Every structure is written in C-alpha cells, then in structure tokens.
Chain A
Amino acid sequence: QVQLQESGPGLVKPSQTLSLTCSVSGGSISSGAYYWSWIRRPAGKGLEWIGRIYTSGRTKYNPSLNSRVTISVDTSKKQFSLRLTSVTASDAAVYYCARDVAGTGFLDYWGQGTLVTVSS
C-alpha cells in the first residue's frame, strides 16, 4: 500500500520561503508511470493544484504560482519537495502531496496534509 507523508515547518513568516517534503513508502518513486504532485487547500476555500514533478525531474507548475514555485525530487530518499518563495497570508493552507497516475490528474494516493500558517 502506497503511503505519502508531508513534513515541514507549520509556521512561516511573511516574505520568507515555505519548504515541505513528501516521503513516499510502499512503492517506487522512480516508476515511470507516476508523477508526484502538490495541492493545497486554504481554509474555507477549494483545492488548488500547485504543480508536479516526474522522476526525470521534469516539472509543470500552476501558472498563477509559477514564478514562486520549485518542486524537486530525490529518488534515493524516495522524497519530493516543494519550495514556495515570498509567501503571504494567502499562502496559508493545508498542503497535500499526491501521486498522479499517467500525468492526467488521476490523483490516487494522497498524504494526510500538513497545515502551514503564515504569520510574523
């Protein structure tokens, strides 16, 4: 059974960088069948897709966040990571990592989510 687990600071100061890591267990992160995605849900709002990475390192980002987002992968550690720079209060959300089958948006396994608060 594939499991994903997010980790990282729960509190980030405005203008600083949010960094989260997703650890994958129970399956291979290097399989060519999957992409690895980040999604967030601000309180009281809907889901927002942030971006994804393929095992080759190829990335695709939400255009609305493109200039501030970097997703990277470390296959040896079975982890992929999210960096979001210059955060503001609007970046406060529950952040989820998920597996995307075939890159079509088929998000079959999700992490439990981690709450990130933006405050000084």
Chain B
Amino acid sequence: QSALTQPASVSGSPGQSITISCTGTSSDVGGYNYVFWYQQHPGKAPKLMIYDVTNRPSGVSNRFSGSKSGNTASLTISGLQAEDEADYFCSSYTSSTPVLFGGGTKLTVL
C-alpha cells in the first residue's frame, strides 16, 4: 500500500499562511473522516496537531486547521512562526490498515 502523497517541502515567511496537501484514495482519505496531522521537530517525537480531519487537541494553537475535499486533506497554518518549522505528516485510516502515513512535508520558515 503506497504512502499518502504530500509535497516534499513548503516554505513561507513569518506571518504568512501555508497549506500542506495530503492526497489519497477513496479507500483511505476519501472514505473516512479519520485524517490526522502530526508535527515533528528534529530529534523529537511526533505531536498530534489535528484529528478527525478538522479537530485540534487541547493545547494546539488555533493557527492550525484541517480540512478535506474528496480524496485530499489539507493542513493550513496561519500566522506562520519560526517555531512552526518542522516536518509534517498526515495519516489516514484505511480499508486495509488502521494507519497509513503520508511521505512527510518539510516546512521551512524563511
């Protein structure tokens, strides 16, 4: 089963907004509202940022938001800050396995 498709890298300046896409199929992203986004800083464990497509766990900034259209989910970060520079991974529940990750996107804050 192939990984979900994410852009390898995105960049933005402080204060700007960026969007990271996560494309799958009707057997995963498009078929379930179980899409998650994780942030990972170097040497640290991944941190859950968005669950069930649009929901933020307690303590996660409201600058992070999630959405989905068809087989593509998106993570938007508004008011970009230097501390947002990290790797971001999407994941989805699928018809064959509970967890399928995207390839990851490196966010650079210019």
Contact = CB atoms under 8 A, between A and B. Distances in A.
For A46, A111, A113, the residue with the greatest tally of chain B CB atoms inside 10 Å of its CB is: A46
A108 B57 contact: yes
B103 A52 contact: no
Dominant SS among interface residues on chain B:
loop
Contacts of B86: none
Interface stretch (A7-15, A17-25, A81-89, A97-105): A97-105
Contacts of B104: 46-47
B97 A96 contact: no
Dominant SS among interface residues on chain A:
strand
Given A63-B96, A106-B34, A46 B45 contact: no
B64 interface: no
Interface in B41-79: 44-48, 51-52, 57
A73 B3 CA distance: 28
Contacts of A64: 1
Nearest to A60: B98
A70 to B, nearest CB: 17
Given A104-B34, A105-B92, A107-B36, A112 B98 contact: no
A65 to B, nearest CB: 11
Interface of A: 35, 37, 39, 46-49, 52, 60, 62-64, 96, 100, 103-108, 110-113
Given A103-B98, A105-B91, 12 more contacts: A37-B99, A39-B46, A39-B99, A46-B101, A46-B102, A46-B104, A47-B89, A47-B91, A100-B98, A104-B32, A106-B51, A111-B45
